[in-house]
Amino acid sequence: MSALPDIDALAKAAGGYAPEAIAFVGESLRHAARLFGKEAAEQDNRHLTAPELVEGMLDLATVRFGLMAELVLREWGLKSAADVGRITFALIEVGVFSKQPSDRLEDFSGGPDFGSVLTRRSRQRLCPTEA
């Protein structure tokens, strides 16, 4: 059994993120697997795409932090899908996550603006009748 990586060192190596960001991306993977029905899927069908992982992270942030989600993620250094990608690939490098041969860091480029998405989702959770 391999030892768990030093999360502080991993956070620095991934780009100077807060250690909480590393842990949160890990939690987001599990959340996304549940969200997209892949946690109980066969091994070949368990793979999450970059957009699915980002969506799971945004959903978990909204649920956990509500209106404070953008502030919390920004404090940890998570401002875009590219940040999620850098952390994901750092976790792949140390064997915490695995990847498909076709997975690339560039798969995380683009993506939604975290601030506007988190604000809209948090407001929708508080006032579901308002669109």
Give pLDDT tens digits for 69-96.
Answer: 999 999 999 999 999 999 999 999 988 8
pTM for this model (two decimals): 0.87
Contact 125, 67 (CB under 8 A): no
Mean pLDDT of 96-103: 90
Contact 45, 38 (CB under 8 A): yes
**Greatest C-alpha distance within the chain:** 50
Contact 112, 54 (CB under 8 A): yes
Residue 84: count other Cβ atoms within 10 Å of its Cβ.
26
Q: How many CA atoms lie within 13 A of 91 on its CB side?
A: 22
